[in-house]
Amino acid sequence: MESSNSRPSRVSRNPFVHELKFTRSDYFKIGLMSVTVFPVRLLLVSFLMLLAWPFAFAASLGRSEFVIEPRSWWRRLVKVCLWAIMRAMWFCGGFHWIKVKGERAPPSAVPILTVAPHSSYFDAIPVTMTMCSIVGKLESRSTPVWGTLISYIRPVFVCRSDQDSRKKTVAEIKRRAQSGGAWPQIMIFPEGTCTNRSGLILFKAGAFIPGLPVQPVVLRYPNKLDTISWTWRGPGAFKLLWLTLCQPHNPMEIEYLPVYTPSKEEKGNPSLFANNVRRLMAKALQVPLTDLSFEDQAIVLSRGPLAICNYSSLLEFNQLVCRLRLRADITEEALEEQGRRARKLQGDGLSLEDFAQFINLPVTDTLTQVHSFFDKKGDGQIDGRLYVIALSTVHRPSQAMKTLKLAFKMYASEESGEVQEDDVAAILEIMLGVKEVELSGLFLSLDRPDNERITYDELCHFIERHPYSIQDFLDFKDHPRGFCFFGQPPSCDIQNSKED
């Protein structure tokens, strides 16, 4: 699969992984704090959270999600009480003083605050300090105690099981943003997921679609030992809570940057608006921009004996597929159906028009880019089976064996179920994101007379016996023995990583 190099081929640090490294001094401090300060802090934090619940519950009674509530004296009193209780809770948790830079704009001038980087549940601190609304998943409303506190700030809930959820969320954000300050400000974390703060990933466009001024807000946790970051791979939620409460002090900085007013071009292009704000925030944070998104995390964190070795081309393919809205509609059944249709073609070339008909989409610039990914010979003809393999890989990167099985169904001989060596190489090139796969080492290791063909079951058994077969039996351009996309090849990561 050819890459157009619109994404970087290497990234210095995986933003979705967080590793903690302790010194002997750290172990001693944590051990001492665990038996002295930690139990007291945990008790006080829990008590204050429970104390806040009846206030939030009373203020939430009789509310409508779509009607602006009157600003009565008792609601203002509840707001002050909740603010004091939550600030005391964070103080008991070790956030003794929180440095605030800049000045927060009023809701009437700026309805949306964009906050980054999003790295932890401790990012709730600026929310409780301002009592702004947030965008959160609907399931969080049913969380005991905390769900009531979240409901109090009148969030925009997202129902992930609803196919129209994205449109409804954007419409609600736009409705509130255009109320002239009648609704509370909405505090949005445009990254859409937690990272380790090593860089800013791509922003989602939701906060920028209304085309109204936004105020960027940057968060900093300048602690020596990062017990804050809660990422997709790393310490779990309770472990981080324990380690954070064991720190003598947890410093935090909140900086309100100048209000950003979009240009006419940015109002018509939310993605451009989002990217320009992201650049401004990255400059203030002095961190690099990382051209990864929430949708990319599963690809970047793929694991297993056939884990992706070079993400660059697959990440770009995934970005294009998301633009075409193909990721949202893909299912296991749809992949199988496309696999059956691709098999019937028997490798016959698909022109751009044929490919558009194959996936039932009109010819666009984005579709043309997808087609060019698989045009190896440069003759305008592609093998539809390679597209299906790539789609399956980015849809379920942690289930590589399912993709391999689907690929063998498309390529295997009907009589013997075997696949030619060249076809196996083409399959693995797509799945691993690499070029020029050489399989001679693998085929020489097979104990069978025909060294040019292999069945799915034989390859599965070989992988089971040799879990690190990528390193030991395969060769390809930029092999992980001499190349690494994120510091260490995924196959090595399987052996050395540990789950929390």
Q: Residue 7 pLDDT > 50, yes or no?
A: no
Number of helices (H), then strands (E), belonging to the chain: the values are 21, 11
CB 235 within 8 A of CB 274: no
> pLDDT tens digits, residue range 229-254?
999 999 999 999 999 999 999 999 99
Closest CA to 86 of 143, 117, 135, 127: 127
Per-residue pLDDT at 269 = 93
> For residue 497, is pLDDT > 50?
no
- For residue 420, report the phi and psi dihedrals to the nearest 5 degrees: -65, 155
Looking at residue 449, its pLDDT comes to: 57
Return d(Cα 194, Cα 232) in angstroms, integer.
8
Residue 116 pLDDT: 95
Helix boundaries (H) for 324-420: 332-345, 352-358, 365-373, 384-395, 400-411
**Confidence class for position 165, pLDDT limits 50, 70, 90:** confident
The whole-chain average pLDDT of the chain stands at: 85
Mean pLDDT of 349-357: 91
Do 404 and 432 form a contact (C-beta atoms < 8 A)? no
Whether the Cβ atoms of residue 412 and residue 418 lie closer than 8 Å to each other: yes
Q: What is the mean pLDDT of residues 400-429?
A: 89
Interatomic CA distance for residues 361 and 338, integer angstroms: 14
Contact status, residue 403 vs residue 386, Cβ threshold 8 Å: no
Give me 171's structure tokens: 């419409």
Tell me the percentage of the chain whose pLDDT exceeds 90.
Answer: 47
Q: Which band of pLDDT confidence, cut at 50, 70 and 90, is reported for residue 136?
A: confident
User: For the ranges 39-43, 149-153, 423-427, 490-494, which has the lowest average pLDDT?
Assistant: 490-494
* Residues 107/183, Cβ–Cβ less than 8 Å: yes
Q: Which of 270-274, 376-380, 391-395, 463-467 has the weakest average pLDDT?
A: 463-467
List b or e across 193-210, with b for residues whose CB sees 16 or more CB atoms inside 10 angstroms: bbbbbbbbbbbbbbbbbb
Q: Does residue 340 have a pLDDT over 60?
A: yes
Do 492 and 472 meet the contact criterion of CB atoms below 8 Å apart? no
pTM for this entry: 0.82
Q: How many CB atoms lie within 10 A of CB 73?
A: 7
| Helix segments in 68-143, DSSP class H | 73-92, 124-130
